[in-house]
Amino acid sequence: MKAVLVSPPRPGVRIGDIPEPRLSDRGIYIRILWTGICGTDREIINGVLPIASTPPGKDEMILGHEAIGVVERASKGLEDLVGRYVILVNRRGCGRCLNCLAGRADYCETGGFVEAGIKGLDGFMAEYVVDDPRYIVEVPRELLDVAVLAQPLSDLEKSIESVLITQRRMIWSCEDGTYRCRKAIVIGTGPIGMLASMLLKSYGFRVTIVNRRDLYPHEKNMISRIGVKFYNSLNGYEELYKEIGPFDIVFDTTAKPSVIKSVLRFMNYNSILALFGFARAPERDYLDSEELTMIAAKNIALVGVVNGQKRHFETALEHIASWKSSMPGALESMITARIEIEDRDRVLKVLREKPPNEIKTLIVFSK
């Protein structure tokens, strides 16, 4: 079968022909329909993701952690899954710590977790995958076209859950009991920034999405469908602050210290800064004593957020279903290209480098 192969920590990517996986006693055999390309995939290909590693004893790994497929065969007792559409949970527990044993490998304490297509486990950019039913989430046929977005969205379901749990440290809702008076700033207009904005909007926050440049037309289209405000932060955050007042949530997808420094002084009392995603290039900066004092004096919480687990995939699908009517066309306009795996050169090109007109590119393995 055809598969996209990488060899971290070495940079590079190839499309290879490898043997199909074999169905085990407790397994299900899935034909992959299409997979999404994530920034993490490109970091692996460019050799800049420190946690990336091949499965034990192998020098190559199948890339990909955003996939939708259809169950073609199943082992004894699981036959009723045949014909169902499924998405796959990408991080799996270390088998030792309590969080992993309780289905919360997103909070693994040993660092011994594996991640499909990222760390120590083959991923999903292949024609077929054999997996354990524990790690599959069924997808209703009506959501087939956009359900692959449930994987990146699961990361955000976990993240916003984490923000809301942290904010229970005080009374944080508005006078009407909602979050409508609270201002959320999402930094970054990539797929994560877009999905984070949709989710925060669904929770009732007043969302502004930010980038240090003007929007490309495809981004403008998507943002108008989501129905949130855009702000160009090239000259800092002062103008936005003057217009809307202090920020209650800052959701950062850039991991750039200079960005954090510039936004920090506009954060509200009792606000929260969520750091999502890994840096693409090194940047050195520091917080000074005034900034640290302000964080303390304003009860500002800082929370790192990574990875969603099975329950987050499930809530992600619920949100996707509801957005089909509340934000018509938004998810669909997020998928900016579909490239078939047979189109090798184009696939390899888009894997190596993000084209400027991309929000989410899919690689189609079968239909």
Instruction: Closer to ligand BGC by CB, 90 or 315: give it.
Output: 90
Decide which of ligand BGC, Zn ion, none touches 219; Cβ closer than 5 to 8 Å per partner kind: none
Residue from 155, 157, 219, 248 binding ligand BGC (CB under 6 A): 155
Closer of 73 and 311 to Zn ion (Cβ): 311
CB of 113 to Zn ion, least distance (A): 5
159 binds ligand BGC (CB under 6 A): no
Task: Report the residue number, 94 or 181, with the smaller CB distance to Zn ion.
Answer: 94
Among 233, 307, 309, 361, binds ligand BGC (CB under 6 A): 307
Strand residues in 58-141 grouped as ranges (E): 61-62, 67-74, 85-88, 91-92, 114-116, 120-121, 128-131, 136-139
- Considering the rule CB under 6 A, would residue 90 count as an interface residue with ligand BGC? yes
Give DSSP secondary structure letters for 256-301.
-HHHHHHHHTTEEEEEEEEEES--SS-------HHHHHHHHHTT-E
Gap between the terminal Cα atoms of the chain: 15
Which of 40, 162, 167, 361 lies at the binding interface for ligand BGC (CB under 6 A)? 40
**Which entry of ligand BGC, Zn ion, none binds 198, CB below 5 to 8 A by partner kind?**
none
- What length is written for the chain? 367
**Cα–Cα distance, 228 to 41 (Å, whole number):** 28
Helix (H, G, I), strand (E, B) or coil at 148: helix
Measured N-to-C along each axis, helices 191-202 and 217-226 cross at an angle, to the nearest 10 degrees, of: 10
100 binds, among ligand BGC, Zn ion, none (CB under 5 to 8 A by kind): Zn ion
45 close to 13: Cβ distance less than 8 angstroms: yes
Binding partner of 94, given Zn ion, ligand BGC, none, CB within 5-8 angstroms per partner class: Zn ion
The binding track of 240-279 with respect to ligand BGC, each residue x by CB under 6 A or -, is ----------------------------------------
Q: CB of 258: closest distance to Zn ion in angstroms?
A: 24
From the CB of 151, what's the least distance to Zn ion, in Å?
7
Q: Let me know: does 330 contact 198? Beta carbons within 8 Å.
A: yes
Within residues 160-189, the interface with ligand BGC by CB under 6 A covers none
Q: CB within 8 A of 146, min separation 6: which ones?
A: 320, 324, 331, 332, 334, 335
Query: Does 306 interact with ligand BGC (rule: CB under 6 A)?
Result: yes
